[in-house]
């Protein structure tokens, strides 16, 4: 069974292939004989309501000296394709949302879009986790600086972060009474001198178990991979994100990890979120990553897995027996 598989991603020439999960997916698709096509955000269009894209034939190679080659790009009706991997990194801004609208038009005509475009619009990676309060530490999402200060005072120590970000950027650890708290809130909330136009920010009770790592638990069609990547902070850094210098160490899932996955998994399946990364610190879910979750390459290397293979097994099964949405 050979598919046409298109990927929408950030520039492929800038990725680090040893850590890039999208690249792992492309390698697996090519290994299975699927035909690959490449596009970026500027390559999407709607023509009289029909989804089109400027697609370049793509071949990939697991070679850091030259990992891809592109053929001549041409405009093509997306409804002719079998699969689209939506793997654009955050921010989930207006342009990202418009992309999902084009991809949803393709989905209506039977194209498998992973992850589901509607779910990408609906499931902010911080807010969606709050659908499962039984899994989480105390968390507040607010625009009001007074409420956020109250939360920090209530819990003594908290982590503040933007509602839309990735890689640990813009995250602060703060204690009650910290003289820098107002400055942190100004940075996160924005707005003018009258408080207008403020952005939402997230405050979570600080979880000391971050010292043992911020675990990334990957799920395919709601089922967890049996190992997680614990991203362990280094030196004086409290953030475990690999992009912030964290060290990745593979660990078996704990009973608590599996319980969290079981709580979250059915809702992921219902929404068409087929490849998802849960962030778990200690006993607590902190985020649900739906846009472009990573850590495939590290877990594959440490445990001899083929996580992208599991994903493509699911994609190929769906081509025979579509998953109910």
Q: Known catalytic residue: 216?
A: yes
Per-residue model confidence (pLDDT) at position 163: 84
Q: Known catalytic residue: 154?
A: no
How far is residue 112's CA from residue 315's CA, in Å, rounded to a whole number?
8
Q: Known catalytic residue: 306?
A: no
Per-residue model confidence (pLDDT) at position 323: 46
Of the residues 116, 279, 298, 300, only one is catalytic, namely 279
Q: Known catalytic residue: 186?
A: no
Are the C-beta atoms of 78 and 53 separated by less than 8 Å? yes
How far is residue 162's CA from residue 141's CA, in Å, rounded to a whole number?
10
Identify the three-state secondary structure at position 293.
coil
Q: Known catalytic residue: 237?
A: no
Q: Please state, as a whole number, how many other Cβ atoms lie within 10 Å of the Cβ of residue 147.
A: 12
Long-range contact pairs involving 304-307 (C-beta distance under 8 Å, separation at least 24): 305/225, 305/227, 306/28, 307/24, 307/218, 307/220, 307/225
Of the residues 216, 271, 274, 297, only one is catalytic, namely 216
Q: Known catalytic residue: 182?
A: no
Q: Known catalytic residue: 231?
A: yes
Q: What pTM does this model have?
A: 0.91
Q: Which is it for strands 44-47 and 50-60: parallel, antiparallel or unpaired?
A: antiparallel
Of the residues 205, 231, 271, 297, only one is catalytic, namely 231
Q: Known catalytic residue: 289?
A: yes
Q: Which residues contact 146 (CB under 8 A, 6 or more apart)?
A: none
Q: How far is CA 276 from the centre of its chain?
A: 7
Q: What are the Cα distances from residue 216, in Å, to 174, 236, 248, 279? A: 24, 21, 10, 5
281 forms beta bridges with 214, 284
Per-residue model confidence (pLDDT) at position 325: 44
Of the residues 239, 271, 274, 297, only one is catalytic, namely 239
What tens-digit pLDDT sequence spans the chain (325 residues)? Answer: 899 999 999 999 999 999 999 999 999 999 999 999 999 999 999 999 999 999 999 999 999 999 999 999 999 999 999 999 999 999 899 999 999 999 999 999 999 999 999 999 999 999 999 999 999 999 999 999 999 999 999 999 999 998 876 666 788 999 999 999 998 998 899 866 566 658 899 999 999 998 888 999 999 999 999 999 999 876 665 655 556 567 889 999 999 999 999 999 999 999 999 999 999 999 999 999 999 999 999 999 999 999 999 999 999 999 866 444 4
How far is residue 267's CA from residue 117's CA, in Å, rounded to a whole number?
15
């Amino acid at each position: 069974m050979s598919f046409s598989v298109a990927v929408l991603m950030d520039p492929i020439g800038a990725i680090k292939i040893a850590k890039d999960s999208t690249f792992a997916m492309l390698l697996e698709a090519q290994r299975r004989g699927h035909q690959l096509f490449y596009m970026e955000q500027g390559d999407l269009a709607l023509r009289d309501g029909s989804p089109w894209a400027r697609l370049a034939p793509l071949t990939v190679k697991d070679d850091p000296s030259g990992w891809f080659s592109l053929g001549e790009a041409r405009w093509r009706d997306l409804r002719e394709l079998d699969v689209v991997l939506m793997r654009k990194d955050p921010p989930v801004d207006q342009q990202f949302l418009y992309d999902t609208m084009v991809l949803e038009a393709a989905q209506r005509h039977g194209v498998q879009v992973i992850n589901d475009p509607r779910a990408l619009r609906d499931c902010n990676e911080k807010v969606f986790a709050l659908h499962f309060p039984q899994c989480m530490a105390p968390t507040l999402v607010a625009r009001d600086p007074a409420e956020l200060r109250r939360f920090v005072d209530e819990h003594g120590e908290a982590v503040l972060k933007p509602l839309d970000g990735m890689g640990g950027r813009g995250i602060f650890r703060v204690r009650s009474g910290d003289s820098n708290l107002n400055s942190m809130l100004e940075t996160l909330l924005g707005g003018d001198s009258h408080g207008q136009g403020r952005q939402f920010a997230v405050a979570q009770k600080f979880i000391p178990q971050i010292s043992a790592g911020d675990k990334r638990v990957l799920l395919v069609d709601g089922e967890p991979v049996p190992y997680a990547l614990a991203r362990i902070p280094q030196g004086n850094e409290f953030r475990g994100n690999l992009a912030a210098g964290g060290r990745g160490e593979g660990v078996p899932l704990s009973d608590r990890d599996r319980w969290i996955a079981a709580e979250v998994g059915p809702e992921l399946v219902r929404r068409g979120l087929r490849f998802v990364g849960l962030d778990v610190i200690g006993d607590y879910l902190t985020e649900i990553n739906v846009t472009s979750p990573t850590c495939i390459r590290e877990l594959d290397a440490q445990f001899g897995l083929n996580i992208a293979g599991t994903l493509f097994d699911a994609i190929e099964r769906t081509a025979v027996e579509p998953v109910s949405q």
